[in-house]
């Protein structure tokens, strides 16, 4: 089974400043890491390969330094990976990002299964995976909790809907988005890191794609425009209850009801 995992480099900490003028995240000098949700996708892919055989590759779109997360994925067990990198890709919204990844995917080869993380911790849209599948014309299943059985033709998997869990079958090729927290991602190996070679990471730019029309990429290929980015307000409100355990439970329950949380 050939599996491809889509990954993204995101800021290493949640305390990232927003440039008040441009509304863009200030990434300079901020450490970066692989999107935590993608780690679950990668672990799912690697454990499927261990069980059923096959190989895992990774793909990302980003600046040249995004190479670091491809290398990290190799240290975790992926065979190799590709960075889609071109100044023309800058400023892409979800649609343009998905289109770029789909174009890149077509160049890399055929895969039985593409796995994405649920969402990223910087963009948080949770849409890229589904849009990639749309561009590729393959089925998409989101919020996957587990892959229960794999055959030559397809697999049985369990996915979470808002209020129920469903089991379904999908034929290859298909794209799934893994839920967060469904496994414990393995750690990158220093031993592998030491032996990394140049050919572990490939770079592709727009000129390598079938579609070389730059209007389809980056800011100009984006259907949406970001008006403003701002950090969420911090809620520092605290409530504490006194009294017996029963009284405290009662107070907590009525507060939750008042706020219409249940």
Partner 1 sequence: MYNKITAEDIAALKKIVGNENCLCGDEINEDYSHDELGGIEKMPDCLVRVQTTEEVSEVMKLAYEKTIPVTVRGSGTGLVGAAVPIMGGILLETTKMNKILELDPDTLTVTVQPGVLLMELAAFAEENDFLYPPDPGEKSATIGGNISTNAGGMRAVKYGVTRDYVRALTVVLPNGEIQQFGGKVAKNSSGYSLKDMVIGSEGTLCIICEAVLKLVPLPKHSVSLLVPFADMKSAIEAVPKIFRSKITPTAIEYMSRDTILFSESYLGKRFPDTKNDAYILLTIDGNTDAQVDADMKQLAELCLEIGALDVYIVDTEERKKSVWSARGAFLEAIKASTTEMDECDVVVPVNKVDDFIKFTHSLADEMKVRIPSFGHAGDGNLHVYICRDELGDKEWEDVLKKCFDRMYEKAEEFGGLVSGEHGIGYAKKEYLKKQYGETPIAIMQGVKAVFDPKNILNPGKICF
Binding site for partner 1 (CB under 8 A): 12-13, 31, 33-34, 36, 39, 75, 183-191, 193
Closer CB to partner 1, 46 or 132, in the complex: 46
User: How many residues are there in the chain?
Assistant: 262
Closer CB to partner 1, 129 or 185, in the complex: 185
What crossing angle do the helices spanning 36-52 and 67-76 adopt, rounded to 10°? 40
Pick from 160, 36, 45, 185: nearest CA to 114: 45
Closer CB to partner 1, 151 or 195, in the complex: 195
**Shortest spacing between CB 235 and partner 1, in angstroms:** 16
Rounded to 5°, angle at Cα 212 from 104 and 55 = 10
Pairing of β 9-11 and β 32-34: antiparallel
Closer CB to partner 1, 12 or 20, in the complex: 12
Closer CB to partner 1, 167 or 189, in the complex: 189
**Shortest spacing between CB 117 and partner 1, in angstroms:** 12
Q: Which residues pair with 193 in a beta bridge?
A: none
**Shortest spacing between CB 206 and partner 1, in angstroms:** 31
**Shortest spacing between CB 86 and partner 1, in angstroms:** 27
Inter-residue contact 178 to 117 (CB < 8 Å): yes
Q: Which residues pair with 81 in a beta bridge?
A: 58, 201
**Shortest spacing between CB 234 and partner 1, in angstroms:** 12
């Amino acid at each position: 089974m050939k599996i491809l995992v889509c990954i993204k480099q995101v800021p290493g900490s949640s305390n990232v400043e927003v440039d008040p003028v441009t509304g863009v995240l200030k990434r300079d000098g901020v450490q970066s890491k692989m999107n935590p949700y993608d780690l679950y996708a990668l672990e799912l892919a690697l454990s499927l390969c261990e069980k059923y055989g096959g190989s895992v590759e990774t793909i990302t779109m980003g600046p040249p330094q995004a190479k670091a997360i491809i290398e990290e994925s190799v240290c975790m067990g992926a065979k190799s990976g590709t960075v889609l990198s071109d100044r023309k890709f800058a400023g892409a919204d979800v649609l343009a990002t998905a289109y770029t990844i789909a174009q890149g995917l077509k160049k890399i080869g055929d895969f039985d299964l593409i796995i994405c993380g649920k969402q990223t911790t910087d963009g948080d849209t949770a849409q890229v995976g589904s849009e990639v599948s749309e561009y590729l014309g393959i089925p998409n299943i989101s919020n996957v909790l587990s892959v229960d059985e794999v055959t030559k033709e397809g697999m049985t998997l369990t996915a979470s809907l808002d209020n129920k869990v469903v089991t379904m079958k999908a034929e290859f090729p298909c794209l799934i988005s893994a839920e967060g927290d469904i496994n414990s991602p393995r750690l990158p190996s220093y031993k592998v890191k030491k032996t990394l070679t140049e050919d572990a990471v490939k770079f592709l730019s727009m000129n390598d794609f079938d579609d070389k029309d730059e209007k389809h990429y980056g800011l100009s290929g984006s259907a949406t425009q970001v008006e403003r980015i701002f950090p969420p307000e911090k809620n520092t409100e605290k409530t504490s209850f006194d009294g017996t355990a029963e009284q405290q439970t009662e107070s907590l329950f009525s507060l939750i009801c008042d706020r219409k949380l249940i």
